[in-house]
Structure 1
């Protein structure tokens, strides 16, 4: 009889907890969808401030704005964390042309290009040379110095369209953007043009970070992205005339590092103030658009998490921090600085959630955590089912929270529907009008709900011990 009573009590307790959690999540979603602040914050970041490249005046404006808005929320602490960041300036709008030299005339076709972030400039007169098309570093290496020296290398490796996970498709060819100039320069190339990392056919060139690694300054060659439409045009033209030339001009410039800041706000925990849970996105963006999806959406959703917790009457047991990281796009200085100081102060971070995949409809989360914690997360799946959130899997969390990784922390990444994300990623059309208000608010509520559950039930401190195979 006693066993029956114990089992019944346990069942009723679980049912009460489930009902309480269901009610709390329902209230969180209601607050976000009917009384949300994220869209208004994004409107200001995008339309009143604009692109926020690290080290720029707009980046500083964004720091001041978000700090002031967090202070309005009545958090226990709001502060700035100093971090030195790179300063790269695009300069005048880039010029690109395909040049066809016929017997009786020269035809010049304008194309859409943009300098890749961190690239060196061309000369004031620009750069003109014959073009060699490749689709991989292996093709480049096979051609060798004899066929590359003195030419512009055109990397035309496209994102793999049949991969449903668009981030996997992005990762499959992003190395051409980042290291293309490095690899081509070693073989004597004078410049690099890279197909934009975009699954859509359009006229928008997509920028992004590139690096010269250990190349000396006199070996560094200019590198630019070309739109997908114009990449196809160039490829078709090369198939007909292998002697055509390409001309481009860009005036970008790199300066010494400058002082910037991460923006941090905190609700101090009522029971375990020394256990920290973090939610964040990166405040910097590329300069072509206004960074609404990448990562204005993640910034305002993260700010909204703390506001929604307060509005929903949740009093966190653990200290909840929002961190708006600076310099994710071209250095990751903000994420590394935060982790470095956390380690120096011996802060116990038990959970971190990042939103850096756009403001589209949320589908779930990917987790970098132990099997024990993943099993706990799976028990919450039914709480998210009414909101059509179904994706709970191990995987990548986020660049800025990555430096916090240890054996016990739970790292999580919000996973929105990604099919249209790369239409806007790092391009001039990444603007406020591309973000849907309701989708943005659903994402903020989804993040808040996960933070609430982890704060309430805690993190399993069991390490993820790899299984030993016989």
Structure 2
């Protein structure tokens, strides 16, 4: 009987302790959301990055300004340490605005909305003009062969599939034609490429993005541009009527030798396990057509806000918490690779990394690169997020910049906002501050800070009795 009573007492004590812990976590998370929504800094920081600095191409003056600004703001937060991590990055400039038209007959032309792809060479000084051949992807080049492609401009017109609810899957299904299109078309003798913009919406905005020439020599490289979705549809329809159409385009972009830039890093030293490091971050660079508000100014300021929110609510992390603002995600991933390289050299123990690089829209949840045991631990916290309509917890990628940290027991996570509007702005001229909703941005910052709080407090090693009871 005594044994039974003892067991019941221990069970009651365990349940009671778990209820207290859960109540405490709910209150602390509520404080985090209140602080972000009522006294947030993320929107103010984004306003400056977007409107006072603007687009932040790697190697540009604007990127330097962004480094200086964010370092200063992190220092103002009173963190334990703030520093710059040198990294060599590519330098590419767009030059004068691109110009293009399609010629449908002698003296009969219509202008096209195009933009150079990042890393492309310029056209000849007088521009490039040739017949166009339309293909639906890289694999179709082989069907036409050199005989039909040589001397022509290849027009890649495979759209993002609208039936994918997860729009990043639609993006992944056709972005290869943007990245490798010029490299592959050049092998068949093409003189240039035009790529349908990675966009689910029909509009007149061309979307830039990175491209690669692979192992092509300088004399083999051909100019590469993106065309708006409206103009892609127009050009495709005209080619069905007149297959010998000619397109002219003029670009003035240029590649320069690599230059030095920096990752911006701030740190709160852990109170109990300072050698265990948690990272939260986004990429500081952006393309130059807009001001990079969604991609990835939002992720930058949300990551900075995570540290501020935890400090302002009085929470002292057990583990060391770092914010890392990575340089050169867009056209090289040099910042992410450099951070991981230095971490490995120093034998640093990264237990968790969280990235925001999917826009400043309403947060829905997270994806996790984790073991089954680690993921189950995260799922046990899901009820704590449900009052904030955060419901999406799935296995998946953490993000490009934190990807090089993968290995061992390190858990990688990515904030997942509602993605339905993201590609309306991605890498285009309308990725500007006015496209970001203040409340959505602040909800995202609070959601990230709440996850960091739980990971720091409970760890991800195994499922505790408390965590089990929260299921």
TM-score where L is the length of structure 2: 0.97
From 67, 70, 77, the equivalent of 2:71 is 67
Paired position in structure 2 for 1:170 = 171
In the alignment, the residues of structure 2 paired with residue 96 and residue 401 of structure 1 have an alpha-carbon distance, to the nearest angstrom, of 38
Matched length = 459
Q: CA deviation at 1:461?
A: 7.6
In the alignment, the residues of structure 2 paired with residue 124 and residue 147 of structure 1 have an alpha-carbon distance, to the nearest angstrom, of 26
Paired position in structure 1 for 2:62 = 58
Counterpart mapping for 1:361-440 below 5 A = 361-440=362-441
Q: CA deviation at 1:268?
A: 0.2
Find the residue that maps to 2:175 and give its secondary structure.
helix
From 15, 22, 29, the equivalent of 2:19 is 15
Paired position in structure 1 for 2:258 = 257
Q: Does 1:97 align with 2:98?
A: no
Q: CA deviation at 1:332?
A: 0.2
Paired position in structure 2 for 1:228 = 229
- Answer yes or no: is the 8 Å Cα contact 2:153–2:191 preserved in 1: yes
1:355-405 Cα distance to aligned partner (Å, 9 max, x none): 000000000000001111101001100000000000001001100000000
In the alignment, the residues of structure 1 paired with residue 127 and residue 75 of structure 2 have an alpha-carbon distance, to the nearest angstrom, of 48
Counterpart mapping for 1:113-192 below 5 A = 113-192=114-193
In the alignment, the residues of structure 2 paired with residue 326 and residue 461 of structure 1 have an alpha-carbon distance, to the nearest angstrom, of 34
- Answer yes or no: is the 8 Å Cα contact 2:197–2:229 preserved in 1: yes
- Answer yes or no: is the 8 Å Cα contact 2:377–2:462 preserved in 1: no
List alignment gaps of at least 5 residues for structure 1: 463-470
Paired position in structure 2 for 1:465 = none
In the alignment, the residues of structure 1 paired with residue 241 and residue 36 of structure 2 have an alpha-carbon distance, to the nearest angstrom, of 56
Paired position in structure 2 for 1:87 = 91
In the alignment, the residues of structure 1 paired with residue 139 and residue 326 of structure 2 have an alpha-carbon distance, to the nearest angstrom, of 36
- Answer yes or no: is the 8 Å Cα contact 1:115–1:252 preserved in 2: yes
- Answer yes or no: is the 8 Å Cα contact 1:282–1:299 preserved in 2: yes
In the alignment, the residues of structure 2 paired with residue 318 and residue 251 of structure 1 have an alpha-carbon distance, to the nearest angstrom, of 49
- Answer yes or no: is the 8 Å Cα contact 2:285–2:328 preserved in 1: yes
1:244-292 Cα distance to aligned partner (Å, 9 max, x none): 1000000000000000000000000000000000000000000000000
In the alignment, the residues of structure 2 paired with residue 264 and residue 134 of structure 1 have an alpha-carbon distance, to the nearest angstrom, of 44
1:423-447 Cα distance to aligned partner (Å, 9 max, x none): 0000000000000000000000000
Find the residue that maps to 1:80 and give its secondary structure.
strand
In the alignment, the residues of structure 1 paired with residue 63 and residue 139 of structure 2 have an alpha-carbon distance, to the nearest angstrom, of 39
Find the residue that maps to 1:173 and give its secondary structure.
coil
Paired position in structure 2 for 1:38 = 42
In the alignment, the residues of structure 1 paired with residue 320 and residue 310 of structure 2 have an alpha-carbon distance, to the nearest angstrom, of 12
Paired position in structure 1 for 2:81 = 77
Paired position in structure 1 for 2:469 = none
Find the residue that maps to 2:182 and give its secondary structure.
helix
Evaluate the alpha carbon distance shift between residue 186 and residue 461 of structure 1 in structure 2; reply closer, same or farther with a 3 A threshold. Answer: farther
Find the residue that maps to 1:14 and give its secondary structure.
helix
- Answer yes or no: is the 8 Å Cα contact 1:83–1:337 preserved in 2: yes
Q: CA deviation at 1:460?
A: 1.2
Paired position in structure 1 for 2:468 = none
Paired position in structure 1 for 2:467 = none
Root-mean-square deviation over aligned CA pairs = 0.8
In the alignment, the residues of structure 1 paired with residue 403 and residue 238 of structure 2 have an alpha-carbon distance, to the nearest angstrom, of 43
1:121-159 Cα distance to aligned partner (Å, 9 max, x none): 001110000000000112111000000000000000000
1:36-73 Cα distance to aligned partner (Å, 9 max, x none): 00000000000000000000000000000000000000
TM-score where L is the length of structure 1: 0.97
- Answer yes or no: is the 8 Å Cα contact 1:408–1:461 preserved in 2: no
Paired position in structure 1 for 2:339 = 338
In the alignment, the residues of structure 2 paired with residue 357 and residue 404 of structure 1 have an alpha-carbon distance, to the nearest angstrom, of 19
- Answer yes or no: is the 8 Å Cα contact 1:269–1:316 preserved in 2: yes
Paired position in structure 1 for 2:308 = 307
